[in-house]
Amino acid sequence: MRITTKGRYALRAMTNLAASFQGKPRPIKLIAAEENISPEFLEQIFFKLKKAGIIGSVRGPGGGFMLEKEPEDITVKDIFVAVDEGLDLTPCTACTETDGVDPCERMDRCLVYSVWQEASDHIINYFASITLRSILDKNHDKVQRLLAGNEISA
């Protein structure tokens, strides 16, 4: 498993959005500048996050993006899943019979499948246990610098 640039940027942008939310939409260009992310790439990421119902948008002057849920209700896993970030360690842990993809042909005799599956479950559960609120709480000083207008990055 490797978290791609898309996943890292999505998490950075979402923590920025959560940290700086003051009841009004936040322009994507501002978030992109503060996080040093291409605005065009961030638009693609935000499109997926909006489609997943994690963020919403307001058009026009004074428009931008905002959280659709409270920071304590948005997990890192939610963000990664929304932007199609794969969290599985191996191809065999990424597919199941229920998703229409045939599991590994060796699964019935593979001695290490359970190792990969358990490790994958731990990673997924770990990311499901981290909320935007917990990230903000752990980084209180950095949040204060962001709110004061000083650039920070996750």
**Could you tell me if 28 and 46 are in contact, meaning their C-beta atoms sit under 8 angstroms apart?**
yes
**Could you tell me if 19 and 147 are in contact, meaning their C-beta atoms sit under 8 angstroms apart?**
yes
Residues 54-86 have pLDDT tens digits of 999 999 888 899 999 999 999 999 999 999 988
Any idea which architecture 5-86+131-147 has in CATH? Orthogonal Bundle (1.10)
Residues 123-146 have pLDDT tens digits of 999 999 999 999 999 988 887 887
The CA radius of gyration of the chain, in Å to the nearest whole number, is 18
